[in-house]
Structure 1
Amino acid sequence: MPADHSSDHAAATPGSSDISPGFLVLHSHRLESLRDVLVQWLRAHPLAPLEDEVVLVQSNGMAQWLKAALAADPEPAAGAPAAPGAAPGLGICAAVRMQFPARFFWQAYRAVLGAGAVPQTSPFDKERLRWRILRLLPGLLPVAAFAPLRDYLSDDPDGRKAWQLAVQVADLFDQYQVYRADWLTDWSAGNDALRLADAAAGPLPLPAREAWQPLLWRALEHDILTGGAGAEGSAAPWDAVGAAAGHRAALQARFLSALRQAETRPRGLPRRLIVWGFSTLPLHVLEGLAALGRHVQVILAVVNPCQFYWADLTQPRARLRHARKAALPALLREEQLGRHANPLLLAWGQQGRDYLRGLEQFDDPDSYRARFQALGQRIDLFDDDTPADTLLAQVQQAVRDLEPVPDDPAARLPVAPGDRSLRFQVAHSRLREVEALHDHLLALFAELADSERPLRPQDIAVMVPDIRLYAPLVQAVFASGDGTALPFTILDRPQRGEQPLLTALDWLLGLPEARCTSAELWDLLDVPAVQARFGLAAADLPRLRQWFEAAGARWGLDAGHRARWRMPDGLEQNTWRFALRRLLLGYAVGDAGALPVSPAPDGLPATAGDITFAGVLPHGDIGALDAAGLGPMAAVLEALAHWSEAL
C-alpha cells in the first residue's frame, strides 16, 4: 500500500488531468449503468501514475464486483468481436484502495484535524466500549436512574448477564454514533432529550426508563478523557463534557468546521473519492462527503430503485432533482399511499427515503451536469430497454416507475409459463439450502452453455444472512470431488471465521454453555495449536473419531456436565467419558470374551450385553501401537471438564 502522502504531489505531476473538486452524484437503479458512466469518467480524467484511486464500498463483495468491472477489457476495436456478455472496462484495476466509510472518515479526521488531535483508533469503538461499560456499571448501578439495569442484574452471580448487557449497550451506542449523532451531541452538553428530524416539532423528553443512557454516555466520555483515573470514585462522572470528547459525533463537528475554513486541500486527503453503490448512508456521512467536496472530487454513485422522487410522497414541494410522478394526487395522506405507490418501496424503503431526503440538502446537479454531458453521459440513468418479459423484470420495472399493484388481478401483467426469474425455495436445513443451490447452478450452466451469452461463475452472487454459518457448508458442497465442483470465493467472512485458533478460543470461552457435541469437539481438535498442546497427531484423528463414534460418544463430557441441561442424574451413557472408558477397557482386556461373565438376573442365560467390568462394556480390540492417541484424548477431556467448571 502506498504511503499516505502519495496523493499530495499529484497536482503538479506531468500527465495528470485536472481533477477539480466537487460533489457529483449519479443516480440509477442498475449498477451496470453506474459502472459504464464511472468507467468513461475515469478514462477521461485519470489520476497521476503514482496516485491511488480511493473507493468507499459497503462490503467486500461489492469491492470485488467493482474491481472486476474496472479490470474488464476496454471496448474492442472496430470490427473486432466482443466477448459474449462482457461490458467494457479500463483493462486493468491497479492502485485502487477499497475502504469502508468508517475507516476512511477516521483517517480523514486525522488528516484534517491532525494526528495529535485524533488517536489512531477510536476509543469509542464498540469493541472497546463494551469493556469500559462492564467496568463502570458496578459504580453506576446505585444511581436512581440506573434502576432498570440494577433490577436486571440483581440475579447475576457469575457476571454473565453484565457482560451480555455491556455488549448490547456498546452496540447501541455505536449505532447512535452512526445514525443519531445529534442525540449524543445533546447528551454530551447535558441536554437529556431526543431531538427529532423535524426541528420545528422540538425535542421529545427522555422516557424515565431510558434516563440512564445519557448518564452512562457522559460517564464513558469522562472515563476516556481522564484515562480511567478516578471515574468510578467521582461524585458525578456524568457531568457534561461538551465537545472535548473524541467520539465520532464530536469529531465530525470539528472536521466540518476545519474543512470550511481550509483554503486548500489538507495534506493526506485524496484528490478524488468514489463512493460506490450505496443505497443508504447516514446523514453525518453525507455531511462529511459534501464538506470534502470543497477540496476533493467526490463521486457518489447512488443505487436508487425509483426514477421519481419518493422520499416524501405526502408533501409536494419544489424538488431539486427528481420530478414528482405526474399521476400522483397533489395531496396524499399516509393511508392513501398504498393505492398510488409501489408497496415494496413503502415497506422496505424507510432508510432509502431518509437517505434521499438528506441528499437533497447537499446535491446541486446543475453545477456538474454539463461536465458529464460533455462526455456523452448523463447523471440520471433510469431508461432501460430491457423488456419486462419475466416476473423479476416486471417487479423491477414497477418499482422503478413507482407503480402500485393493480386492484384488479386481470390488469396485472401475465407471468410466462416456466418463468424461473424469481423463485422461493424452502429447505429443512442450511445444508439442504446449499445443496439445492448447487444443483440449481449446475442446471443453469448446462442450460446456457450453448447460448449467445453463456453463464459464467463471475456473473453469480449469492447472499446469505450469516456467512459464518454457511461458509463451511459451501466449502463442503461446492468443492466436492465427484466431478460437480464449482469455483467459488467466500467474502465478508469475519477474521474470527478465517482464523481457526480464534474460532477455537471463542468456543472455549463459551464452554460452560456448550453441549460438547461430537461435531464441536472434532472441530476443536482439527486446530493445529490444540493438537500440538496435547501431543495429538493429525494422522490419528480419523481413527480416534471412528473409535469414539463407535463407542457411543454423542454429547456431554460426563454425567455431571449433562445434569446442567436438566438431564436425569447419573446419566452418563453416550457422553465422552462413557466412550473413553469403553475404549480404555477395550485396550486393557482386548476381546470382550476375556472378561468374566456377569451372572444374569433371575437365572436367565448370560448374553453379550452382560459381559461387562464394573458396569462398563469394553469396545473393540485396540492394539498397543494404535492406542497412542487415547492418552492425549483423555487429557483433552480432563482439561475440558476442568475449565467447564472453572469458567
Structure 2
Amino acid sequence: MNSGLMVLHGNHSEALRDILVSWMAAHPLSPLENEVILVQSNGINQWLKLALAHDVSEGGCGIAAALDIKLPARFFWQVYRAVLGKDQVPDSSPFDRPLLTWRLIRLLPELLPEPVFAPLARFLKDDGDMRKLHQLAQRLADLFDQYQVYRADWLEDWGNGLDVLRTSRKGSEPLPENLLWQPQLWRALLADVPESERGTSRAALHQRFLQHAQTIPEDERPAGLPARLIVFGISSLPQQSLEVLAVLGRWTHIFMCVHNPCEHDWSDIIADKDLLRAERARQRRKPGMPQVIAEGDLHQHAHPLLAAWGKQGRDYIGLLNEYDNHESYASTLAPVIPRIDLFTSNGEDTLLHQLQEDILQLRPLAETQEKWPEIDTLKDESLRFSITHSAQREVEVLHDRLLAALAADPTLKARDIIVMVPDINGYAPHIQAVFGLMERSDPRYIPFTVADQGPRQNNPLLGALESLLTLPQSRFAVSDLLDLLDVPSVRQRFGIGEEQLPLLHRWISAANVRWGLHAEQRQSLELPLSPEQNSWFFGLQRMLLGYAVGSGDAWQGIEPLDEIGGLEAALIGPLSHLLNCLDETWRQLSEPAPPQVWGERLQALLSGYFAEDDGDDGFILVRLHTELETWLQACESVNLQAELPLSVVREHWLAQFDQSGLTQPFFGGAVTFATLMPMRAIPFRHVYLLGMNDGDYPRNRVPMDFDLMGRDYRPGDRSRREDDRYLFLEALLSARERLHISWVGRSIHDNTERPPSVLVAQLRDHLAAGWKAQNDGDLIHALTAEHRLQPFNRDYFSKGSELFSYAHEWRAGMDADISADAPQPLPPVGQEGALTLRQLADFLSDPVRSFFRQRLNIYFELEDAGSEDQEPFDINALENWRLQDELIRAQKWALEAGESRQDILRQQLERIERRGELAPGEFAAVLSEDLAEPMETLFASYQSVLDEWPQTLANEALSAETAGVIVSDWLGDLRANASGDRARVVLESIGIIKDRNYRLDRLLPYWVAHLAGHLGGQPMHSIIISKNGTAELPPLEIADAQALWEQLIETWQQGQLRPLPLAVKTAFVWLKKDGTAQSLPDSDAGLAARDAYENHDPANMKFGERDSNPYLARAWPDFATLWSGGEFAELADKLLAPLKNHLSRSSKKGAKE
C-alpha cells in the first residue's frame, strides 16, 4: 500500500462512507493491525461502525472489529511521541490545559505584585474564596492552549523575549501596554517548568516534529505509527494538525473523506479569501464566474446562504488544498474509486432538494428565481417551520408530526429521524415528559434516545455527590436529605430499604424537622436566630426519646415522639448513622486544605456514602476515584501545596463529568435527540431542529477581552458563532427528505411575537426571494404552522383545520354539545364496610370532592414540598384548626377531670412549642397568644351552655340501614337538661358566624349528626359553640328527620357514581337570593351564584369557589356547565335548603359576636 495523503470530496456523507468501506474491504490490513480512524463525534463513530458491520452483500465488511477510533488531539500527540521518541515527549505535556490551570493557580499570586500584572491584580481583588483566581486560571489555561495550536509563532517570539504579534499578512505589531502581561506570563510559565520539559509545549514540539521528520527516510516508518489512517466526518482542523497529517503521509497511507457542500471552487465568495495560500483549488471554478470578483459583486455569483454560513468549511477546504495533490493519487484510486470528487445531484423534485441543489451548483439568487417552478405546498412537505409558545409545546408538536410522518410512510423508521437542539440538557425534561409518557403498548409510542448528556446531568449518584460537596453552604432541608436517600447506592450504604422511605418521611414530618443539622451548623450560615428547634438533631432526639418513653413526659425540654416503637424503631439506627456522618462531613468540608488532604477527605466521602456495585454506579465510582487521582498527580507535578477551598476542588472534580464521550450510545433503532454539535453531518431522512430562537442560536459566547486571536483572524481559527453557522448548513444538507425547523415564536405570557434565529430568518428570506407558491400565495406563510398555546385547543380537533393532534385525551371536551359528551356514570359498587358520619359529612360539604376521593381515590391537592423545609413562622388555616382543636380537647378534659383549665392550656401550649410546631423564639410567644386568644370567650360560652345542660350522657351507638346503605358510628358529647331533653353540645375551633350571619357551609357536618340523632325516635338539640358565636339546631319532627336522612343517603349513592353538580358555597348564595328551579341564569340569584363560583379578582383578593377547589374546577370548569341540566338547583333545594330553612325558623339568640 502506498503512503501519502488522499482526499475525497463529496456532498453526501453516505457516498463517502460507502466508498471508504469498499476501499477497506478491497485493501484489508494484516490480521494483527488495527484500523485507526479519526472522528470528532460519537455519532460519526457509531455510524461508521454500523456501515462496516453490514453484510458484504449490503456493501459492508460483515464485521466492525479491530477498530481504533480516536479523537484528533490525542492521536497527534501520539504521532509526536512516535516520531520524536517517547523519551523526548512525555505522556502528557506540562503545558496541557489541566496542568496549566493548577500551575497558574500557584504562580499568579506570586506574580501579581509586579506592575505589568496590574490588570490581573485589579480583577483578583477581594477574592477570599479563590473563585476568581480559579476562573481566571481556567480562562488563561484555555487561552494558552489555543495559542499553542493556532498561534505557535507568537509563543515562539514571546519565549525569545519579543513582545510582538505576528499578523496573518506576514507583518508584526507590538502588543498594547495593557496586554504586555501575556508574554510575561508565558515566560514565567516557561521558567517554572523544569528545563528538560520546556520544549514539550505543543507549539515547540510541533516545530521539532516538522524538522526531525525530514531526517527519517520515507521507507522507515517510525514504530507506533499506523500503516493506514482514516479521517472521516471532520469539518474543521487547524493548520497545525493538517501539517502533521501532511508529514505523516510520508510513511502512512492517509485516507481523508471531506464533506463539501459545493462541487465548484467557492473559496473566493467569502471575505478574507486572500489569507488562503493554496496555489491550486481542488474544484474547478464554476463556468462563467470571473477570475476576480469584487466584494460588492459576490451576491451576483455566489449562493447567499453558502456565503453567509460557510466560512468555517471554506477555510478548512482551502487549508486542505495546500497539501492535496490529487493528480498524484487519482490513478491509484481509479480501480476502486473511479471519481475522487463524489458530487451527486440532490434531485429537483422538492423545495428542499432544489435548495440543496442550488448550494451544490453555487447558484446565485437570480439563477434560482429563473430556474425553479412554483411550489405546490399541499404536496411538497419537504421543508416546514413551526412556531410555538414554549419548549414543551415544541416537543408536543414534534411528537404529533412524527406520528403523522411514520403513519404516512411505512418505510420510514424511527432510526431514520434525528432531532437536534442547541442544548440537549434544557430539552431533556420536555422530551421525557412527552415521549417518555407513552407506554410501549400505546400505538403512539415512539422509541427514542437522548444523546450528548454528560453523566453529571442525569446520573443520580453524581447528583448526590454534588449535594454532599455543597454541605457547607447547605440548609440541610428535609427535601435535601430525602433526595439523597432516593439514590440506591446511598440507601444501600446506610442499610435503608426503599420500602422504608415512606415510614421515615412520616417520622421526619411528625418530629417537625424542617432544616439545619443542628444549632452550630445554622450559626455557620450567619443567621440572626439559630436555635436547635426544627433541626435534624432536634428531630432525632425526639425520635430516640419517643422510643425510650413512648408518650411519656418531656425530658430536658425534649418532647418525645410517641410514634416510634416496635420492630420499625430499628430504622432510627441508620438515620442516626447518616446524620452523624453528615455532621462529620460538614465539619471537614468547611475547612480549606492542601490537595493531598482533599484527596484523603474525598476518598473517605466516596467510601462512606456510596456502596460499590457492578452496575452504572460502580463505573461512576471508579471514574471518580480515577479523576481524583489524576488531579492529585497534576497538583503534585506543578508543586501546588496551597490550601484550596472546597468550591475550587468541587468544581474541577465534577466538571470532568460534564461532557459525553465516544462511548455514549447514539444509534439504537430509535429517534435520536442530540445537541447541535460540529462534525455531525450524518444524513437522516428526516431532520428536525428545535429551539431555533433568536439569541439561543447561533449560541453566544462572549469572547475574553484579552484574547488576542480575535484581533487578527487567520483561516482555520475556531469561532463558536461560525461553528454554529456551518453546523446549520450541514444540518440543512444532511436532510434527505424533510427538514423541519421550530422555535418559540410567541410569548407564553402575552402572545407577543418573538423572532427566530438570524439563521432561520436568513433561510426564510432566501426562500421568499427565490421561490413562489402556486396561485400567487404567500410561500413562507404556507410553509409555517403557528401552533396554539395549549395542546387541547379546539383547532387541533376541528374538521378542516390544518392543525392536528394525536392526543385523544384532549378530544373528549371538544364537542360544542356539552351534554352529548358528558361522561357516563360509573357502575355501582358494593359497600365496603359501614359508612361513618364523617364520610357523610364530607360528602354533604363537598359532593364533587367526595366522588373523586371516596370513589376514585384521587386527590388533587398538591403538597407544598417547600413547606417541609421552612419553620412554621405562620400557621395556615388547617394547622390553626388542628392546634386549636387540640387545645379545646385538652381544656375540655380538664373541666371534666376537675383540673385547672388555664394550667392545662398553658401546659399544652408549651408542649406544642417543644414539639417544634411553632416558630422558635419570640415568634412562638406570638403564635401561642394567637392560639389561646379565643379560648376564654369560647369556654365562657361553653360553661354557660353546660349550666343549661348539666347532665352528661353516655355516647350512643348509631346503626342504621337505608336503601341498602349501612351507617355505623357513635354519637358523643351528649347532655341532658333538667327537663330530660337531649342535646349534643359541640365545641368548634373555627368560626361559624360571619357578618352576623351563619356560615351554613360550616354547619353541614353538624346537620348530618343532627339528623342521625333523630333516627332512634327521640328528638335532639344540637348546640355548636365556636370562637365567634353559637348556633343551635332545634329538634326536628322525627318523620321529617327520617325523610331528610333518606334523601341524603339516596343522594350519596348517586354521588358515588358521578360528580354531582353542586358547589355548596355557591348554592347557599343561590338560596339566599331566593333561587328556585325556575330561576334563570341571568336572574339576581343566577348572577350572584355565578359571581360566587367564577369571581376572579386577584387585585382585590377575591376568588370564586371554583378557584379554591380543584375538584370543582376539574368537574365543572365554569358556572354554565355547573348550571346546565337544572340539577344544581334541584340538589341545592333538596340537600341544603332544609338546613337554611330550619335555622331561619329557629331563634337566633345564640348568634352573637
How would you bin the TM-score normalised by the shorter chain? 0.7 to 0.9
Residue equivalent to 1:354: 315
Is it true that 1:74 corresponds to 2:56 in the alignment? Answer: yes
Residue 536 to residue 473, structure 1, CA distance change in 2 (3 Å): farther
Distance 2:258 2:524 in 1: 53
Residue 529 to residue 408, structure 1, CA distance change in 2 (3 Å): closer
Residue equivalent to 1:399: 359
Residue equivalent to 1:97: 68
Residue equivalent to 1:112: 83
Residue 319 to residue 113, structure 1, CA distance change in 2 (3 Å): closer
8 Å contact kept, 1:279–1:352? yes
CA deviation vs aligned residue, 1:232-282 (integer Å, no higher than 9, x gap): xxxxxxxxxxx9420111111122222222112111111100000111111
**1:401 CA displacement:** 2.6
Name whichever of 147-156 and 462-471 sits farther off: 462-471
Aligned counterpart for 1:631 among listed residues 557, 576, 580: 576
8 Å contact kept, 2:518–2:538? no
**1:349 CA displacement:** 2.6
Aligned counterpart for 1:373 among listed residues 304, 321, 334: 334
Distance 2:366 2:524 in 1: 57
**1:114 CA displacement:** 0.9
Letter in 2 for 1:118: V
Residue equivalent to 1:454: 412
The percentage of counterpart residues that share the same residue type is: 44
Aligned counterpart for 1:58 among listed residues 20, 37, 40: 40
Aligned counterpart for 2:268 among listed residues 287, 312, 318: 312
8 Å contact kept, 2:515–2:536? no
Residue equivalent to 2:381: 419
CA deviation vs aligned residue, 1:297-341 (integer Å, no higher than 9, x gap): 001111122222223336699633212334545443444434543
**1:286 CA displacement:** 0.6
8 Å contact kept, 2:346–2:354? no
The answer for unaligned runs of 5 or more in structure 2 is 592-645, 647-1153
**1:148 CA displacement:** 1.1
Residue 28 to residue 408, structure 1, CA distance change in 2 (3 Å): closer
Distance 1:397 1:615 in 2: 81
Residue equivalent to 1:205: 174
Residue equivalent to 2:344: 383
CA deviation vs aligned residue, 1:70-129 (integer Å, no higher than 9, x gap): 1122335xxxxxxxxxxx322221111110011111111111111111111222221221
8 Å contact kept, 1:24–1:365? yes
Letter in 1 for 2:124: L
Distance 1:633 1:283 in 2: 56
**1:20 CA displacement:** 0.7
CA deviation vs aligned residue, 1:455-483 (integer Å, no higher than 9, x gap): 142x3444444556666776786666722
Aligned counterpart for 2:202 among listed residues 234, 244, 248: 248
Residue equivalent to 1:296: 252
**1:425 CA displacement:** 5.9
Distance 2:367 2:49 in 1: 44
Letter in 2 for 1:401: Q
8 Å contact kept, 1:556–1:576? no
8 Å contact kept, 1:23–1:289? yes
Residue 510 to residue 183, structure 1, CA distance change in 2 (3 Å): farther
**1:548 CA displacement:** 6.6
1:411-490 to structure 2, matched below 5 A, reads 414=375, 416-417=377-378, 419=381, 421-424=383-386, 426=388, 428=390, 440-448=401-409, 450=410, 453-457=411-415, 459-466=416-423, 482-483=439-440, 487=447
Higher strand share: 2
1:495-574 to structure 2, matched below 5 A, reads 504-506=464-466, 508-510=468-470, 524-527=484-487, 530-531=490-491, 534=494, 536-541=496-501, 544=504
8 Å contact kept, 2:301–2:363? yes
Residue 74 to residue 558, structure 1, CA distance change in 2 (3 Å): farther
Distance 1:24 1:173 in 2: 32
Distance 1:374 1:292 in 2: 25
Aligned counterpart for 2:153 among listed residues 158, 174, 182: 182
2:305 aligned counterpart, secondary structure: helix
**1:66 CA displacement:** 0.8
8 Å contact kept, 2:102–2:137? yes
8 Å contact kept, 1:59–1:492? no
**Corresponding pairs, count:** 572
Name whichever of 150-159 and 467-476 sits farther off: 467-476
Distance 2:114 2:245 in 1: 41
Residue 207 to residue 47, structure 1, CA distance change in 2 (3 Å): same
CA deviation vs aligned residue, 1:533-568 (integer Å, no higher than 9, x gap): 6554454446556877999999988999999999x9
Residue 223 to residue 468, structure 1, CA distance change in 2 (3 Å): farther
**1:368 CA displacement:** 1.1
Residue 171 to residue 244, structure 1, CA distance change in 2 (3 Å): closer
Residue equivalent to 2:99: 128
Distance 2:533 2:252 in 1: 63
Distance 1:168 1:548 in 2: 45
Distance 2:472 2:231 in 1: 45
**1:522 CA displacement:** 5.2
Distance 2:497 2:517 in 1: 22
Letter in 2 for 1:454: L
2:214 aligned counterpart, secondary structure: helix
Residue 514 to residue 623, structure 1, CA distance change in 2 (3 Å): same
Residue 319 to residue 438, structure 1, CA distance change in 2 (3 Å): same
Distance 2:204 2:94 in 1: 13
Letter in 1 for 2:139: Q
CA deviation vs aligned residue, 1:382-413 (integer Å, no higher than 9, x gap): 2224335143x344333323334469989876
CA deviation vs aligned residue, 1:587-624 (integer Å, no higher than 9, x gap): 9779xxx899xxxxxxxxxxxxxxxxx999x9995666
8 Å contact kept, 1:129–1:170? yes
8 Å contact kept, 2:264–2:361? yes
Name whichever of 300-309 and 482-491 sits farther off: 482-491
**1:346 CA displacement:** 3.2
Distance 1:273 1:576 in 2: 68
Distance 1:326 1:22 in 2: 31
Name whichever of 473-482 and 165-174 sits farther off: 473-482
8 Å contact kept, 2:541–2:558? no
8 Å contact kept, 2:236–2:312? yes
The answer for unaligned runs of 5 or more in structure 1 is 1-18, 77-87, 228-242, 597-613
1:210-359 to structure 2, matched below 5 A, reads 210-226=179-195, 244-263=198-217, 264-313=220-269, 319-338=280-299, 340-359=301-320
Residue equivalent to 1:137: 108
Distance 1:463 1:285 in 2: 29
Name whichever of 479-488 and 544-553 sits farther off: 544-553
Residue 212 to residue 339, structure 1, CA distance change in 2 (3 Å): farther
Distance 1:298 1:515 in 2: 58
2:57 aligned counterpart, secondary structure: coil
8 Å contact kept, 2:348–2:357? no
What TM-score do you get using the length of structure 1 for normalisation?
0.75
1:302 aligned counterpart, secondary structure: strand
8 Å contact kept, 1:112–1:259? yes
Residue equivalent to 1:12: none
1:278 aligned counterpart, secondary structure: coil
Name whichever of 103-112 and 369-378 sits farther off: 369-378
Q: Which has the larger radius of gyration?
A: 2
Letter in 2 for 1:274: I
Distance 1:355 1:463 in 2: 24
Letter in 2 for 1:419: E
Residue 640 to residue 482, structure 1, CA distance change in 2 (3 Å): farther
Name whichever of 555-564 and 485-494 sits farther off: 555-564
8 Å contact kept, 1:548–1:580? no
